[in-house]
Amino acid sequence: MAGYEIEDVPSVELSESEHRLLDSIGADEAQSQLMAEAIISVSEKDEVLGPISKISAHRDAGSYHRAFSVLLFDSKKRLLLQRRADDKVTFPGVWANSCCSHPLHSEEELSEENALGVKKAAIRKLEQELGISPSHFSIDDFHFMTKMRYSARMNETWIEREIDHILIAQVDVELNPNPNEVSEIAWVTYDELEELLLEEEPKNGSIAPWFRCIAARVMNEDWWNAVGDSSALTGLADDEIHDMGDVTHMLPEAEGAGLDISVLEVKPLVEQRIMKSLMASRHERLAAAMTHLIHGGGKRLRATLPWLVGKAVGDSHSGMLDVGAAIETVHNFTLVHDDIMDDDDVRRGRNAVHIEFDLPTAINAGDAMLAIAFERLVQAEGLEATDVAALVNRIAWMVRRVSEGQQMDIEFEDELAVSEEDYIEMIEGKTAVMFLTCAEIGARMAGADQEIIDCMADWGLAVGLCFQLMDDLIDVLSDSAVLGKPAGSDIAQGKRTLMVIHALGQPESEDKSILLAALGKGEDASSEAIEAALVALGNLGSIDYAKQRAVEYHAKAHACLDRVPQGPSMRALRELTDFQLNRIS
């Protein structure tokens, strides 16, 4: 602890691409070395997972890691603030608390007893950043107060995702800031900090989102008054992990990430919830059947949508991931039963559940998944007891609408005279209602007002309708390898897609006869007949018509997004709106 030397700390060898990235942003040698440090990868609950390089923890989707924030007071009860150097790779030039960094994946700084590891890390970094000699501190000068979990994105490339341990110390110190780390310092009173937090247009640099969380949501005036009183600080401390959600919007200059990275931020967290729920079954074969499609992958758009919407229109929290997991479980339950009803043998490039196991097991697995989804739902974090009944009712309504849409789809296969209005009603229930529900619930859980909740519900409906229209188009425009099932299978099954409905409404022609020769013939339809039917759909103008309707819903969805406040997280929703159209553009 006598000094800070980069070779003394554990590090991870960076890849060539990581070196190129650091070079591309002009990171100097000191900052590049710091990005190779081995810090502590943790779960949402601050459970140690292992070492991770600082660059990996902060790049692209990032990863939760352990951090600390020091609130250093002097004898006048003034709080030391630092402005991060412009040379910093992440969040340069912003005002933050006295010292904020990461304990290293080393024996000393992994110690959790009495927060010993983060306290030792704090002493090390106070010297490295502010030039404060370790002789000024003892471990007992630091009071552990609480933890908070948050995400904050700077731009497409860099993000903070931390379980932050908050420490208070009161020591009069001599400062000698490291210009590579700190560009400016200031001592502030309680009232002066309040003024800084309330500034609409910062005059001298923005406030770091994690420090704004600490100052506005965690630290209160009682903390400030207790500074210097060890027993009072101990009485105010807690063992909680305060869930701040995604606080990117707290940084005025923040840039949001695209859809892929935004989904990847939380996809593993949602999948952990899904697998934990489904694997809780005491019956091994049933659990295997329930998780079969989950193991097959998937975009998890529905699963992550409550979170994506919530952080775009309000305050996000982990309960949105629980709800997303519940809805994704419902979605996969419908896929298991759909494959049985449609007699589809393949899903996501692997055997359907009723093929991999057997028909009775598949039906039973679907039933169990529906029950498990509601179990996950009522256990969602961050929900008031009074909110649970309304949430359960809304998801139950969604399941009923999905079932009604599926029944309409079944009955349409035996009807030639299906109208376009009937089709839209069917896909609204079968597909779009899930997008509507995810968006509506995400906005409601984020604390948005009713106008925005309704707007996001309209957006979800439009996106869902566009999604299904495009899904039908992809079935006729993609090959089997892309689809993970035979191309044109909807025609063989007699599905009344918008294209088929439009084609059947055209005057009698050779193309219409070719379509009818394959429509609904199932296994009796040869691959040549299906291929000819797909060509006929194009000749009849039905493919172009369906594209036109998809584009209309796409435009309606963007118009909904235009009506809500724009922020960095809106980028992902825009890209989601474009997602299916881009697949055939």
Query: For residue 481, what is the domain's CATH number?
Result: 1.10.600.10
Residues 298 and 350 in one domain: yes
Closest CA to 165 of 121, 217, 229: 121
462-473 average pLDDT score? 93
Query: Can you say how many angstroms the Cα of residue 475 is from the centroid of all Cα atoms in its chain?
Result: 28
Same domain, 364 and 413: yes
Concatenated DSSP letters for 509-545? -HHHHHHHHHTT-GGGS-HHHHHHHHHHHHHTTHHHH
3-state helix/strand/coil string of 344-401: CCEECCEECHHHHCCHHHHHHHHHHHHHHHHHHHHCCCCCCHHHHHHHHHHHHHHHHH
Indicate whether 345 belongs to any domain: yes
Q: Domain of 11: which CATH number?
A: 3.90.79.10
* Claim to verify: residue 209 and residue 348 sit in the same structural domain: no
For residue 97, which of 52, 60, 130 has the smallest C-alpha distance? 130
Res 485 pLDDT > 60: no
The pLDDT of residue 585 is 57
At residue 460 the predicted structure's pLDDT band, cuts being 50, 70 and 90, is very high
pLDDT in the model for residue 108: 93
Answer yes or no: is pLDDT of 482 > 60: no
What is the band of 525 on the pLDDT scale with cuts at 50, 70, 90? confident
**H or E element at residue 185:** strand 182-188
pLDDT in the model for residue 584 = 64
Q: Reply yes or no on whether the pLDDT at 409 is more than 90.
A: no
Evaluate whether residue 121 is within a structural domain.
yes
Residue of 288, 368, 9 whose CA lies nearest to 376: 368
376 and 465, same domain (yes or no): yes
Both structure tokens of 572: 């992902």
- How would you class 10 by CB atoms within 10 Å of its CB: exposed for 0-12, middle for 13-18, buried for 19 or more? middle
b/e 193-207 (16+ beta carbons within 10 angstroms → b) = beebeeeeeeeeebb
Among 560, 25, 141, residue whose Cα is nearest residue 309? 560
Residue 320 in this model has a pLDDT that exceeds 90: yes
Q: Which of 277, 394, 265, 281 is nearest to 318 (CA)?
A: 265
Percentage of the chain beyond pLDDT 90 is 76
Structural domain containing residue 522: 259-584
Domain assignment present for 382: yes
Domain contains 74 = yes
pLDDT of residue 333: 94
Q: Are 278 and 288 in contact (CB under 8 A)?
A: no
Domain boundary residue, one of 199, 218, 250: 250
Burial profile 423-449: b = 16 or more Cβ within 10 angstroms, e = fewer: bbebbbbbbbbbbbbbbbbbbbbbebe
- CB atoms under 10 Å from CB of 34, counted, come to 22
3-state helix, strand, coil in the chain (%, to 5): 60, 15, 30
Residue type at position 346: V
What is the spatial distance between Cα 80 and Cα 71, in angstroms, rounded to a whole number? 7
Instruction: Enter the pTM of the model.
Output: 0.90
Residues 227 and 288 in one domain: no
Is the pLDDT score of 397 beyond 80?
A: yes
How far apart CA 330 and CA 371 sit, in angstroms, is 9
First-to-final CA distance of the chain = 59
Alpha helices in 428-449 (DSSP H): 433-445
Most confidently modeled range among 96-110, 289-303, 334-348: 96-110
Domain count, the chain: 2
Give the pLDDT confidence of 534-585 residue by residue, as tens digits.
Answer: 999 999 999 999 999 999 999 999 999 999 999 999 999 999 999 878 776 5
Q: Are residues 313 and 221 in the same domain?
A: no
Cα 228 from chain centre: 41
Whether residue 457 is found in the same domain as residue 568: yes
Mind listing the pLDDT tens digit for each residue in 351-394?
999 999 999 999 999 999 999 999 999 988 888 888 899 999 99
Q: Over range 114-139, report the average pLDDT.
A: 94
Q: Coil, strand or helix: which one is 151?
A: strand
- Chosen domain end from 250, 275, 309: 250
| Separation CA 145–CA 147 (nearest Å) | 7
If asked whether residues 245 and 346 sit together in one domain, one would say no
Please tell me whether residues 461 and 559 are part of one structural domain: yes
Mean pLDDT along residues 478-506: 76
What is the pLDDT at residue 487?
66
544 and 516 in a common domain: yes
Confidence of residue 344 (pLDDT cuts 50, 70, 90): confident
In a domain, 150, yes or no: yes
Report whether pLDDT(479) > 70: no
Tokens representing 442 are 């995400």
Q: Which one, of 58, 75, 59, 76, lies nearest residue 67 by Cα? A: 58
What are the tens digits of pLDDT across the range 430-449? 889 999 999 999 999 999 99
Q: Are residues 197 and 302 in the same domain?
A: no
CA distance 378 to 93: 43
Same structural domain for residues 199 and 219? yes
The domain boundary, picked from 250, 275, 307, lies at: 250
**CA-CA distance, 409 to 423, in Å (whole number)?**
8
Pull the structure tokens for residue 220: 């209160």
Assigned domain for 1 exists: no
**Is 400 contained in some domain?**
yes
Residue located via tokens 């030639």: 416
pLDDT higher at 60 or 1: 60
**Cα distance between residue 543 and residue 540, in whole Å:** 8
Please check whether residue 434 is in contact with residue 395, taking contact to mean a CB–CB distance below 8 angstroms.
no
Pairing between β-strand 241-246 and β-strand 143-153 as defined by DSSP bridges: parallel
Picking from 74-83, 220-229, 488-497, which range would have the lowest pLDDT averaged per residue?
A: 488-497
How confident is the model at residue 199, as a pLDDT? Answer: 83
Q: What are 148's two structure tokens? A: 């908070």
CB atoms inside a 10 Å sphere around CB 352: 24
The alpha carbon of 425 is separated from its chain's Cα centroid by a whole number of angstroms, namely: 30
Look at residue 150 and give its three-state secondary structure: strand
Judge whether 287 lies within some domain.
yes
Going by their DSSP bridges, the two strands 143-153 and 159-170 should be labelled as antiparallel
Q: 5 pLDDT band (50/70/90 cuts)?
A: very low
